[in-house]
Structure 1
Amino acid sequence: MKNTFKLSLAAVLVSSAMAANAGISIVDNEQGNFSIGGDVEFDFNFQDRDSQTANEFDQTGRILLEFSGERYTENGHVFQVNVQPLMGSDGNVNLDDAWFAFGAQDGWNLRMGRFEAFDMFPVGQDTFLEYSGDTANDLVVEGSAYVYQMKEGRGRGSSGQLMYSQSFNNLYLELASMIGERDVLFAGDTYHGKPIETTKDALLLRPVVGYQAGNFGIAASMEANLVKDAVTVRGNNGELVDISDRMGYGVTANYTTADWNLIANFAYMDAVDENNMSVGVNALYKGFGLGYIHAANEYENKVVSTNYASGDVNVNTWYASYEFADVLSVDDFSIYLGAYYTTVDNKTDASQTLATNFAEDDDKGVRVRFKYFF
């Protein structure tokens, strides 16, 4: 194993000075394999946002490199490593995945590091998908609706992850966990108008059960923090309130044929003084994608605050895309056209302090994406 990876590293250093080729396999034999790959993705974007006086036109993008290795043993076990550096066109260098795993070939697997677990809210060919105003789909933002998508415990956290997975014919089981500080979920270190008072390391669990029967697949999951008082604020009665007490549930189903890919998603979050529900459907047919997401947020002033917001805030988002595949007769080189349109419907009590923060903006945008896998 040590010799194999020494040779692989040397080959990587040599190949870095050569032109990129699709699917470079450095080592591939009965003992394992080591390869490098990645993708290039650059976008030209135009957005019209009601919350801003001027339209936005910019170019974004990044180059992702992937180093992937596997080692097979004679007794049927496998060891895996995966690293994905990410270089942005803005000059920033980040990291997508960095994980190590071991287990049985075609059996159980234990993964640790930085990665994403099972996608419980896939949105299909989402070339361009945004939400109105300051609507959030990754953080809980003060005075903004939340498009909850079952990914608070999905992964790529900064403090560590551990995941066990195993397949039994058509049945797939997964138990993912995230470790570390939980206050990073709450933008601005506030919740319903109250500043965060205390924090400590949390433990999130996210079990998934999936089943595939022919062209049809379905999966169900939940996610929750098991550490009490991981993040607290001062409540109405002056006592500390545990806002890390959040329970999420989700179901996703798909139907796939040679030409069609149909997906339906449902996600629900039960949190302190608010509930967030999202439903989504999307379809892909021969390169053309179309999708819709509806998010319903219900706020109440019971525990944390008396004047945050009470009532409903709904978000409706439509998005579409089209892929021109194998451009210039080159495999793995595609040009995508994408567009979205999104609205917010604020039904909260206008007398509440932060009710007007849920701006009823109509936002829209279009994008041209150039993508190449190598």
Structure 2
Amino acid sequence: MTFAVRASTAAVLCLCGSAFAAPAIDANIELDNTSRDGTYVAAADKGLTQSGRLELNVANKAGADAFVAGRATFLSKKDGTVATDDMWIQLGNASTDVKLGRFEAADLFPLAGDTLVNHAGTVYGANTLRGRKASDVFHAATTFNLGSGLAFELGLISTTTTNLSGATARGLRPVLSYTSGPLAAKLGLEQGEYNSGNKVSGFGLTVGYDFGAFKLTGNYAQGKQDATIDDTQSAYALTVAVGGLSVGAISAKNDATGGDTRVQTGYVSYSMPLFGIKGATITPAVSVSKAADSVANTNKEETAFRVRLHYDF
């Protein structure tokens, strides 16, 4: 851990000291105080826990018609470990660009104010191949700006068969997006495999509209995500954001031989300024979820509460 901290610090100092680079540097700290309970939660995980991280971001972009951009996000976590969140380089021009490295591609199931959204079962969101996988996974996304608010992103994740286990994946993920004033929409597909050869195939659609006083977002996703790719999973969500208040409802159905599992989740979060200090917020959040399994004839539920403290340095 000591070596990783020194390496991260040295990298930042080298960037700051370069005569040819003027990177933007910012940092923030976030602390989550969370309580979980319910039949879906393992006995050892019930009760009050605390997690958090300090995030340091270094980014820069250079060029006019053609450009090169880069970003790195270093994390120092409360559990005593360090990690890298984002680390990518992007190159191209106004019409086409390519991003390579560790990052997340387009979100096909965005949830407003998702400070705490815990499900009592599986909810498919067409984001399995979105990115931020294991360190040795190749990830690239090429974006074509087609004009009039229309863009096409083609994501590729690849790794070796030997390393296809754990938090990794490989496959293709094309996404078409459209933005016009207050309207934003994305439609995408994903096809590939993850975690020791489990297959994934599905699509997602999200549409958001900013009414000024509030923003409304609707999502729908459907796919197959298991080792045999026999069972179909679907989910939809409706979220509304009004200032710092976010409210969402998610419903999912996972088909299985002889029946299905239905998962219903609702959440609320409210982000408020802390003592009127710029960059400081406190966000209480509640998440309630229930799952009914008609095959096993069981019902499980989870209720969670969180208070998040956030401060931008």
TM-score calculated relative to the size of structure 2: 0.85
Runs of 4+ in 1 over 3 A off after TM superposition: 8-13, 51-55, 181-188, 229-232
- The structure-2 alpha-carbon separation of the partners of 1:107 and 1:332, relative to structure 1 and needing over 3 Å to count, comes to farther
Matched, 1:372 2:289: no
Q: Cα distance, 1:187 vs. partner?
A: 7.0
Contact 2:15/2:23 (8 A) holds in 1? no
Give 3-state SS (helix, strand or coil) of 2:16's partner: helix
Q: Cα distance, 1:9 vs. partner?
A: 4.2
- The structure-2 alpha-carbon separation of the partners of 1:361 and 1:91, relative to structure 1 and needing over 3 Å to count, comes to same
Matched, 1:79 2:68: yes
**Alignment partner for residue 286 of structure 2, among 324, 336, 339?**
339
> Percent identity, aligned pairs only?
24
* Larger strand fraction of residues: 2
Give 3-state SS (helix, strand or coil) of 1:360's partner: strand
Q: Cα distance, 1:267 vs. partner?
A: 0.6
Distance 1:370 1:202 in 2: 33
1:45-124 pair list within 5 angstroms: 45-50=34-39, 51-53=41-43, 55-72=46-63, 76-104=65-93, 106-124=94-112
**Alignment partner for residue 244 of structure 2, among 284, 287, 297?**
287
Distance 2:61 2:249 in 1: 39
Residue number in structure 1 paired with 2:202:
248
Q: Cα distance, 1:12 vs. partner?
A: 3.4
Contact 1:32/1:71 (8 A) holds in 2? no
AA matched with 1:337: P
Give 3-state SS (helix, strand or coil) of 2:106's partner: coil
Give the structure with higher Rg (CA): 1
AA matched with 2:294: K
Contact 2:140/2:156 (8 A) holds in 1? yes
- The structure-2 alpha-carbon separation of the partners of 1:342 and 1:203, relative to structure 1 and needing over 3 Å to count, comes to closer
- The structure-2 alpha-carbon separation of the partners of 1:10 and 1:222, relative to structure 1 and needing over 3 Å to count, comes to closer
Distance 1:287 1:208 in 2: 29
Contact 1:32/1:70 (8 A) holds in 2? no
Q: Deviations over 1:140-191 (max 9, x none)?
A: xxxxxx2111111100122110110132231121111111157988879xxx
Q: Cα distance, 1:208 vs. partner?
A: 0.7
Matched, 1:152 2:128: yes
Matched, 1:277 2:234: yes
Contact 1:33/1:71 (8 A) holds in 2? no
Residue number in structure 1 paired with 2:272:
324
Q: Deviations over 1:94-120 (max 9, x none)?
A: 11111111111x331111111000011
Residue number in structure 2 paired with 1:306:
none
Distance 2:95 2:187 in 1: 21
Contact 1:66/1:84 (8 A) holds in 2? yes
Q: Deviations over 1:285-342 (max 9, x none)?
A: 1211100111100013xxxxxxxxx3200111000011113x2222221110100100
Q: Cα distance, 1:49 vs. partner?
A: 2.2
Runs of 5+ unmatched residues, structure 1:
1-7, 14-25, 136-145, 189-200, 233-242, 301-309, 349-354
- The structure-2 alpha-carbon separation of the partners of 1:53 and 1:116, relative to structure 1 and needing over 3 Å to count, comes to closer
Contact 1:208/1:219 (8 A) holds in 2? yes
Matched, 1:170 2:149: yes
Residue number in structure 2 paired with 1:4:
none
- The structure-2 alpha-carbon separation of the partners of 1:45 and 1:184, relative to structure 1 and needing over 3 Å to count, comes to farther
Runs of 5+ unmatched residues, structure 2:
1-11
Q: Cα distance, 1:202 vs. partner?
A: 6.9
Contact 1:120/1:221 (8 A) holds in 2? yes
Contact 2:164/2:195 (8 A) holds in 1? no
Aligned CA-pair RMSD: 2.9
Residue number in structure 1 paired with 2:6:
none
